[in-house]
Chains A and B, each alone.
Chain A
Amino acid sequence: MRPVFLSASIPDPRRHPRYIDTADEIAIRESVSALATVVLHHTTLVFGGHPAISPLVRLIAHGLDAMDKVRIFQSRFFESVVPRDSREFTDLVWTPAVSNDRDASLRLMRDLMLNEGPFEAAFFIGGMEGVEDEFDLFSRRWTGTPAFPIASTGAAARILFDRYRDNILPYLSRGWENRLREEFVYRPFFEELLHL
């Protein structure tokens, strides 16, 4: 089975009101935890390090004795603030910082991360602009690979689902578009989406 790509974050109420309106933090947390559990039983999980997501993935990977199945990307731009949790992954890929440019450094990190494919599928959970950017990049780079915005987690995933619904439908059994929006029991749902 090819690696699975994860893009997830928790909206910050002080910065992005349009994301926070629909964000469901409990669902974001549960779906990240469920995805890591389902994927790491079978294949590699690829994602960009995040201070709240990385510790959760690390804990689950550690429990499954699958630390080597996580490939985490971090930009050198954030080297001084990268949490210790990210550094504990054996497969940590540092991408170069672009002078003093935060956005350009992130762009380069995302380009290099998404060149890692081919992927089995990608999952987009909660999130803000970064998750939207990664969805656009992924869809362009890996046309034909399913990219699932988990709309029930709200925030960017919900916006992406509403915007690209027609592109996603071919990857879903009939009636499943509602499950992307309404399903909160994630472990069996993700197994079905990945045909496990």
Chain B
Amino acid sequence: MTPVLNATLHQRMADLGIDPADALALFTEAMMAGLDNRSPTVAVYFGGPAQTPQAAAAVATLRHHGIFILPVVPQLAGYKTQVPASLHEVNGTVVPPEDPALESVAQRLLEELRLVRAKRLVFITYRRSDTRGVAEQLYRAFDDRSFDVFLDTHSIRSGFEFQSVLWDQMADADLLILLDSPAALSSRWVREELARAHALCLGILQLVWPGHARSPGTDFCVPFYLEPDDFASGPAPIGERSELAAASLHRIMTLAEALRARSLAARHSRLVGELCQRVSTAGWGIDIQPGYCIDLHRPGRPTPIRAFPLVGHPDSHQLHQCFDGCGNPPLDGLVVYDPLGMWDKKTLHLTWLNGYLPLRALPVTELNAWIASGP
């Protein structure tokens, strides 16, 4: 399993614009002496009936250093017999048969390295009378894969305030699933939601219902054309009770995961690229650090500013995490985010927080003005 995981990790890091040859080192239990404690480290333990004392010792050492270990076992029944004692209190995971490339394991490790976000938020937008059954089926499938799911029925709208909060939350999602049934885009809200998702550069998977031409104006979405065969036998494809066949659901989920990774990679590289370009143009030095941060060296100043490019809109918990990453004694911290789609009240809240916190949240669009102010 190790070579498979290694290959998948290489692929996913390359998707994020990170050169795995440069940034990724793979260690096995035989190579523990070579581990560099200063580098961000995560571990996976492939459990089973037979375990070696060497592997158990390696796990104990990693646990001692507070390193995250993901136990992967063939089945959860008899879990404690498949892992060393030091992992008994850690929740293990089983890789589903439809994931032979170990994508779910790679994803979890990348999240722990903060290369992708732990927050997995998906929006499903649909018309209740047409596609409720499929929407709820997708809800369960995403929930099983540790996504937070927002089911957006077009009919339920409780005023402008609700809409503003919803659109603000959308900035934290990476994926929107549009159930494109014949009347889905007749709603103004759905069209607005799509435009916002595009402006935020979310991945949008468009499930086009059988017999329905793709709705006009959806050219930026990734289409998946459903055929009558894709539905479980029973009610017709359109209707509140129809559901997808299991195999088709798996194909859609796999496509959705890949699209989420691409969307996240694009948003990440746009933000990092803009930050690096603007400070370089100003004559500053850049030093990309492990752990998803960038040290910005101002000419003639002894200490750098540590910048954290953050996809989505920062909340106080993330700001706290970034501050923890500023070292001891802490460097000046800067959290850079894209303000597009941000709710006015959230903008005010961040401005208020900036007055009290030991680091600063800055919209990427204000970088030039900030550099010119001579921080």
Contact = CB atoms under 8 A, between A and B. Distances in A.
Interface string B289-330: 000000000000000000000000000000000000000000
Contacts of B277: 185, 188
B101 interface: no
Contacts of A52: 217-220
B212 interface: no
B164 interface: no
B201 A26 contact: yes
Contacts of A51: 216-217, 219
A10 B199 CA distance: 15
Contacts of B192: 55, 59
A81 B274 contact: no
Contacts of A55: 191-192, 194-195, 198, 217
Interface residues of B, number: 28
Interface in B249-294: 262-263, 266, 269-270, 273-274, 277-278, 281
Contacts of A60: 199, 340
A29 B274 contact: no
Majority secondary structure of chain A interface residues (helix, strand, loop or mixed): helix
Contacts of A59: 192, 195-196, 198-199
Contacts of B341: 63
A132 to B, nearest CB: 18
A25 interface: yes
A28 B266 CA distance: 12
B191 A85 contact: yes
B188 interface: yes
A26 B262 contact: yes
Given A56-B198, A60-B199, A184 B216 contact: no
B273 A184 contact: yes
A83 B195 contact: no
Interface in A2-41: 9-10, 12, 25-26, 28-30, 33, 37
Contacts of A107: none
Nearest to B185: A83
Nearest to A196: B368
Contact of A83 (B217, B220, B222, B263): B217
A187 interface: yes
B281 A29 contact: no
A184 B269 contact: yes
A2 B29 CA distance: 65
Nearest to A81: B216
Contacts of A28: 220
Interface in B205-222: 216-220, 222
Contacts of B269: 184-185
A83 B269 CA distance: 32
Contacts of B196: 59
A188 B201 contact: no
B219 A10 contact: yes
A163 interface: no
Contacts of B201: 26, 29-30, 33
A37 B262 CA distance: 23
Interface string A65-84: 00000000000000001011
A56 B218 CA distance: 11
Nearest to A192: B281
Nearest to A29: B220
A188 B274 CA distance: 7
B371 to A, nearest CB: 12
A187 B363 CA distance: 14
Given A29-B220, A56-B199, A84-B188, A185 B340 contact: no
A181 interface: no
Contacts of B266: 26, 30
Nearest to B341: A63
Q: Which of B199, B201, B274, B365 is most buried by chain A, counting CB atoms within 10 A of its CB?
A: B199
21 contacts: A26-B262, A26-B266, A29-B220, A33-B199, A55-B191, A55-B194, A55-B195, A55-B198, A56-B198, A59-B196, A59-B199, A60-B340, A63-B340, A83-B216, A85-B195, A85-B217, A184-B270, A184-B273, A188-B274, A188-B277, A188-B281
Interface of B: 188, 191-192, 194-196, 198-199, 201, 216-220, 222, 262-263, 266, 269-270, 273-274, 277-278, 281, 340-341, 365
Given A28-B220, A84-B191, 14 more contacts: A25-B222, A33-B201, A37-B365, A52-B218, A54-B217, A55-B192, A55-B198, A55-B217, A56-B198, A60-B199, A63-B340, A81-B216, A83-B191, A84-B188
What are the nearest 9 A-B pairs in CB distance? Answer: A185-B273, A51-B217, A55-B195, A10-B219, A52-B219, A59-B195, A51-B216, A188-B277, A52-B217
